[in-house]
């Protein structure tokens, strides 16, 4: 371990570790300090995403989806499997194994690229200085030309309404660690995390009720798409109550009694477990913010300029801790762009108008760019195309015909403004839409692009064609040229 580096990154999650790797690839000496500890007390790089969020949740979503399909779909395919059951311990072991492989891979990448990985806590200690407190041993001071804060975020706790107890009232991490499927499960918050976790346990047999204070379901998603997805979740048995404001949660010996208001009525919901998924807050505790004079906004996020510079000379910040979309890939891109700028590459930038978002339920929900309502509010004259998966041959073969793709374009320039969709594997289809926005593609550009048959991507092609009434395999709402 050195006493001086070109770059010291505080935080080893999706914003931090890619920043460290790219900086090292560009010839800078780099250390990455990270204090994540798993429930077993062991340290792991990767932050929330690899240890308690993106990766373990997707592992359980996949396992629960297969179980659900075995129960409700396999017979349609002519596959008889008999009585199915859940071995939750084996499911959890598989989930943990996947996370362990990926977090261990970061250590290998650090070694291969010459990054010094330092388990422990880093804090700001003056100009060009970081105080490093290892997990074991005495603290020491490290010098750095550039300091990058990438400390991520943590689940918001409703301390006065539904405080975490680590057993019956849990955060998103605790919701991934259940050792038994609850008979009745409550979820506060119908955002990305809430519906994903609700889907996992619903498919494994829990009776799931989701309480959402907002009157609209997924308001950031195009209304037609979110309405379609809500209908599918209802058919699957997940009860999503909109306009339901939780007022309290009382933990009892065998249950949690949740009080909420919906309209003019006061209601009560009794559940075995309660998941609180109402958002995330920036991690700045222990960073030495006040002593260093690091500027935060009124919500506690680190304030940065367009170059990710904070108000302190030589100190930068990326990822969840600076706000914006709290997405791993957004943090990755910010970290990489910052590393390249620190190495003297000034022309790179993150396009925040083309940040993809995905909810890994069934159907999946994915979007990039503006919804129809957002585009209209922004002053655009819009034209919209839509195509259902019900007309798609590959979707029929998969027995996954639910969902729709909507394409929003500027009527004056034909430029694509947004693509919103729900349906089978739309998380994978979204990349084409992101590329279209990144390159400023028009609907005609994508319409003239050949899509292989039979594939799910043909539905995106049909949606683009339908913008101008040119769809072949769907009924057009307007005639070509009109």
Say how far residue 208 (Cα) sits from the centre of its chain.
Answer: 21
Q: Is-cis flag, bond preceding 454, omega within 30?
A: yes
Q: Is 33 exposed, middle or buried (0-12, 13-18, 19+ CB in 10 A)?
A: buried
Catalytic-residue membership of 453: yes
C-alpha 80/C-alpha 74 separation (Å) is 7
C-alpha 424/C-alpha 361 separation (Å) is 9
Run of H or E residues at 449: none
Q: Is 151 exposed, middle or buried (0-12, 13-18, 19+ CB in 10 A)?
A: buried
Q: How many CB atoms lie within 10 A of CB 144?
A: 22
C-alpha 23/C-alpha 5 separation (Å) is 11
Strands (E), 175-221: 184-188, 207-212
Sign of the C-alpha dihedral, residues 411, 476, 394, 227? positive
How many helices (H) and strands (E) the chain has is answered by 13, 21
Q: How many CB atoms lie within 10 A of CB 8?
A: 27
Residue with tokens 């790797």: 21
**Residue 267's closest CA among 281, 251, 249, 283?**
249
- Alpha carbon distances (Å) from 66 to 63, 69, 86, 95, 392: 5, 5, 11, 14, 22
Name the active-site residue from 39, 72, 345, 453. Answer: 453
C-alpha 14/C-alpha 387 separation (Å) is 34
Buried-state track 177-215, b at ≥16 Cβ within 10 A, e below 16: ebeebbebbbbbbbbbbbbbbbbbbbbbbbbbbbbbbee
Q: How many CB atoms lie within 10 A of CB 272?
A: 18
Q: Phi/psi at 229 (nearest 5 deg)? A: -65, -40
Buried-state track 432-464, b at ≥16 Cβ within 10 A, e below 16: bbbebbeeebbbbebbeeebeeeebbbbbbbbb
N- to C-terminal Cα separation, the chain: 69
Q: Phi/psi at 103 (nearest 5 deg)? A: -70, -35
Catalytic residues: 453
């Amino acid at each position: 371990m050195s006493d001086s580096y070109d770059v010291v990154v505080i935080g080893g999650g999706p914003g931090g570790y890619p920043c460290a790797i790219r900086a090292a690839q560009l010839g800078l000496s780099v250390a990455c300090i990270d204090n994540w500890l798993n429930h077993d007390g062991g340290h792991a790089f990767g932050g929330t995403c690899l240890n308690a969020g993106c990766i373990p949740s997707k592992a359980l979503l996949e396992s629960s989806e297969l179980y659900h399909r075995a129960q409700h779909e396999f017979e349609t395919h002519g596959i008889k499997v008999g009585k199915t059951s859940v071995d939750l311990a084996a499911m959890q072991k598989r989930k943990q194994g996947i996370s362990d492989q990926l977090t261990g891979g970061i250590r290998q990448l650090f070694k291969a690229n010459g990054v010094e990985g330092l388990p422990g806590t880093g804090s700001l200690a003056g100009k060009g200085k970081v105080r490093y407190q290892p997990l074991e041993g005495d603290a020491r001071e490290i010098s750095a030309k550039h300091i990058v804060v990438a400390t991520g975020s943590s689940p918001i706790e409703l301390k006065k309404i539904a405080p975490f107890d680590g057993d019956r009232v849990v955060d998103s991490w605790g919701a991934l660690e259940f050792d038994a499927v609850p008979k009745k499960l409550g979820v506060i918050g119908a955002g990305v995390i809430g519906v994903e976790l609700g889907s996992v346990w619903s498919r494994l047999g829990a009776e799931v009720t989701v309480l959402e204070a907002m009157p609209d379901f997924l308001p950031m998603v195009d209304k037609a798409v979110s309405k379609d997805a809500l209908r599918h979740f209802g058919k699957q048995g997940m009860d999503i109550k909109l306009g339901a404001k939780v007022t309290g949660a009382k933990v009892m010996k065998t249950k949690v009694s949740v009080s909420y208001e919906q309209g003019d009525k006061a209601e009560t919901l009794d559940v075995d477990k309660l998941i609180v998924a109402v958002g995330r807050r920036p991690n700045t505790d222990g960073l030495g913010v006040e002593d260093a004079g690091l500027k935060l906004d009124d919500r506690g996020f680190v304030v940065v300029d367009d170059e990710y510079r904070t108000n302190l000379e030589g100190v930068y910040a990326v990822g969840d801790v600076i706000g914006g979309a709290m997405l791993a890939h957004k943090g990755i891109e910010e970290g990489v762009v910052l590393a390249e700028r620190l190495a003297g590459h000034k022309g790179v930038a993150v396009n925040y108008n083309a940040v993809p978002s995905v909810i890994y339920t069934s159907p999946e929900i994915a979007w990039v760019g503006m919804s129809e309502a957002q585009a209209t509010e922004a002053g655009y004259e819009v034209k919209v195309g839509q195509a259902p998966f019900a007309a798609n041959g590959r979707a029929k073969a998969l027995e996954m015909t639910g969902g729709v793709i909507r394409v929003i374009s500027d009527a004056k320039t034909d430029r694509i403004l947004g693509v919103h969709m729900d349906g089978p594997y739309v998380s994978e289809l979204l990349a084409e839409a992101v590329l279209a926005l990144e390159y400023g593609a028009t609907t005609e550009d994508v319409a003239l692009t050949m899509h292989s048959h039979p594939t799910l991507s043909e539905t995106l092609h049909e949606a683009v064609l339908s913008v101008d009434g040119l769809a072949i395999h769907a009924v057009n709402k307007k005639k070509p040229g009109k």
